[in-house]
């Protein structure tokens, strides 16, 4: 949560889904899978590196089998504490294997439901406007590009979204590298304009690269190129598994947890072999295959349980964990409300360190909505109040207040009430608790979505921060434009 003192984490981890015995069973299964099945590794230099560190490598089949002792030797070398810096230091946060909970904004939607209620392809203007809107939210600690604009060339779009987040945001933010090491080089150049130098970016990296392993048990050439480049430049990485229970992974939660664990730990070990001390965050945006629709059920209860279990597994290895999904609902409606609330609360109480894609998404990340940004901020506020639990100190109980009022029922007027008025209560922003008549008189009978829409419009009319000077913005845009064009050719050469 963003406060006057900077970012303060919520304290989660109240619920442990897995017993110690179950964690040991999942670890043993992970070791067996890595030792018997192995990782398909589509990068020749990475195969040589893993061979040189004692792994069993079949170069003809691109299969690496990792013995337990070697796996744990290198997983243990990964930093257990990682600083995520903001361009503005008030957004700095420490990520570790505790149960501290932070929130990341929504991600990459190809369509939006705009403030006029129209569903349409997302645009570059939407990205700028939604980034401004999210910039006002106290319950978002880390930013992400909420939409992938469809009015720009899609090849190399990562360079444009990086530039926009850099210009319109000062929180730490999620970045896509572009499938090649050169993509990171261009992003470092853009970041250096804001930071002053490449060395300043390396010393206080204010973005984290999102890198995805492929389910089942595959590390592509693009993934490894990005992984090595980030390690060489001290850029933290989210090593993200996007497994589909019943599709690309076993049908059961436990089987999918093992696939994710093996895939991510194999990548963490490779990162440490190549660049000792490379900052790696265990990550997942996995879920279940819905057997009726054959789509990802991102907010199904089983998907929530999977993230709660994965957080415990990551912490077992001393690694911070990022995970969660977005609602499957297509509108900011009742389904969206219960999916978001249960998923947020489950993930937070399970100790997920970064609740990912938590702001503004619908339809499993493919759709963004302005009103939902504010509704999600409200749901997260309620979630964090529940995480705080109950203060049972003598002062909080208020024995003196009992004595002062006796049986008069006038506790509203006591010093105890004034003291705890804002300390003990979560204050709502768009939730309505009035009577029917007052609700009609004050809002005209508007529901939560309508109230959120009005507030979003006011924010966009008034919140116009400038985080980069005109000259610097022009330099960033110039690099992004060149990078977008050149990265397409680079990636073609890689594939050729």
For the segment 348-386, what is each residue's pLDDT rounded down to a tens digit? 999 999 999 999 999 999 999 999 999 999 999 999 999
- Phi, psi at 129, each rounded to 5°: -70, -45
Mean pLDDT over the full length of the chain = 96
> What is the number of other CB atoms lying within 10 angstroms of the CB of residue 268?
26
Q: The tokens 């503005």 sit on which residue?
A: 88
> 391: exposed, middle or buried (C-beta count within 10 Å: 0-12, 13-18, 19+)?
exposed
DSSP per residue, 385-408: HHHH----SHHHHTHHHHHHHTTS
At 355 the pLDDT is 98
Picking from 299, 288, 383, the residue whose alpha carbon sits closest to that of residue 336 is 299
Q: Per-residue confidence at 411, pLDDT binned at 50, 70, 90?
A: confident
Which residues are CB-contacts of 206 (< 8 A; sequence separation ≥ 6)?
85, 86, 87, 172, 173, 191, 195
Q: Residues 229, 220, 79, CA angle at the centre, nearest 5°?
A: 45
At 496 the pLDDT is 57
> 112: exposed, middle or buried (C-beta count within 10 Å: 0-12, 13-18, 19+)?
buried
State how far the Cα of 323 lies from the Cα of 91, in Å rounded to an integer.
20
pLDDT digits (tens, 9 = 90+) for 433-450: 999 999 999 999 999 999
Q: The tokens 């609740």 sit on which residue?
A: 355
Q: Over 60: is that where the pLDDT of 315 sits?
A: yes
State how far the Cα of 281 lies from the Cα of 86, in Å rounded to an integer.
17
Query: What domains sit in the chain, N to C, each tagged with a CATH number?
Result: 2-17+75-388+475-483 (3.20.20.480)
State how far the Cα of 304 lies from the Cα of 202, in Å rounded to an integer.
35
Which residues are CB-contacts of 16 (< 8 A; sequence separation ≥ 6)?
312, 350
At 413 the pLDDT is 79
Q: Per-residue confidence at 228, pLDDT binned at 50, 70, 90?
A: very high
Kind and range of the H or E element at 491?
A: helix 470-495
Residue 346 DSSP one-character state: H
**Strands 63-65 and 39-41: what pairing?**
antiparallel
Measured CA to CA in angstroms, residue 213 lies from 42, 265, 295, 402 at distances of 11, 11, 20, 59
Picking from 316, 322, 254, the residue whose alpha carbon sits closest to that of residue 288 is 254
- Look up the pTM and report it: 0.96
Q: Is the dihedral of CA 110, 222, 234, 358 positive or negative?
A: positive
Q: Per-residue confidence at 405, pLDDT binned at 50, 70, 90?
A: confident
State how far the Cα of 103 lies from the Cα of 1, in Å rounded to an integer.
8
At 495 the pLDDT is 65
């Amino acid at each position: 949560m963003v406060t006057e003192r900077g970012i303060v984490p919520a304290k989660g981890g109240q619920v442990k889904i897995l017993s110690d015995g179950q964690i040991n069973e999942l670890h043993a299964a992970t070791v067996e899978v890595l030792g018997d099945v192995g990782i398909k590794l589509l990068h020749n230099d990475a195969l040589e590196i893993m061979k040189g560190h004692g792994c069993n490598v079949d170069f003809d089949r691109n299969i690496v089998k990792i013995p337990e002792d070697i796996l744990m030797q290198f997983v243990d070398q990964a930093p257990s504490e990682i600083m995520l810096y903001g361009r503005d230091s008030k957004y700095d946060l420490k990520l570790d294997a505790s149960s501290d909970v932070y929130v990341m904004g929504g991600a990459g939607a190809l369509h939006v439901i705009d403030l006029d209620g129209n569903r349409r392809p997302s645009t570059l203007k939407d990205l700028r406007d939604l980034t401004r809107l999210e910039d006002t939210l106290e319950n978002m600690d880390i930013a992400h590009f909420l939409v992938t604009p469809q009015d720009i060339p899609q090849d190399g779009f990562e360079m444009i979204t990086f530039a926009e987040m850099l210009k319109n945001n000062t929180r730490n933010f999620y970045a896509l590298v572009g499938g090649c090491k050169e993509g990171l080089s261009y992003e470092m150049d853009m970041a250096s304009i804001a930071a002053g130098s490449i060395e300043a970016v390396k010393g206080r990296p204010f973005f984290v690269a999102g890198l995805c392993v492929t389910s089942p048990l595959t590390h592509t050439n693009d993934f490894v190129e990005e992984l090595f480049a980030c390690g060489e430049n001290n850029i933290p990485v989210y090593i993200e598994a996007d497994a589909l229970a019943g599709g690309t992974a076993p049908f059961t939660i436990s089987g999918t947890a093992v696939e994710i664990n093996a895939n991510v730990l194999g990548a963490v070990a490779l990162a440490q072999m190549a660049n000792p001390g490379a900052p790696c965050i265990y990550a997942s945006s996995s879920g279940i295959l819905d057997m009726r629709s054959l789509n990802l059920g991102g907010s199904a209860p089983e998907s929530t349980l999977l993230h709660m279990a994965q957080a415990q597994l990551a912490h077992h290895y001393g690694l911070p964990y990022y995970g969660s999904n977005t609602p499957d609902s297509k509108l900011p409606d009742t389904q969206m409300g219960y999916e978001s609330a249960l998923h947020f609360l489950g993930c937070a109480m399970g100790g997920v360190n970064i609740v990912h894609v938590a702001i503004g998404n619908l339809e499993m990340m493919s759709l963004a909505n302005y009103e939902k940004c504010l509704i999600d901020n409200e749901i997260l506020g309620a979630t964090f109040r529940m995480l705080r639990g109950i203060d049972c100190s003598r002062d909080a109980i208020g024995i003196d207040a009992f004595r002062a009022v006796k049986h008069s029922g006038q506790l509203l007027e006591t010093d105890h009430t004034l003291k705890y008025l804002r300390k003990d209560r979560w204050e709502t922003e768009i939730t309505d608790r009035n009577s029917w008549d007052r609700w009609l008189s004050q809002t005209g009978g508007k529901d939560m979505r309508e109230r959120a829409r009005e507030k979003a419009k006011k924010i966009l009319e008034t919140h116009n921060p400038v985080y980069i000077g005109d000259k610097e913005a022009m330099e960033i845009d110039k690099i992004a434009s060149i990078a977008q064009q050149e990265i397409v050719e680079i990636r073609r050469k890689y594939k050729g």
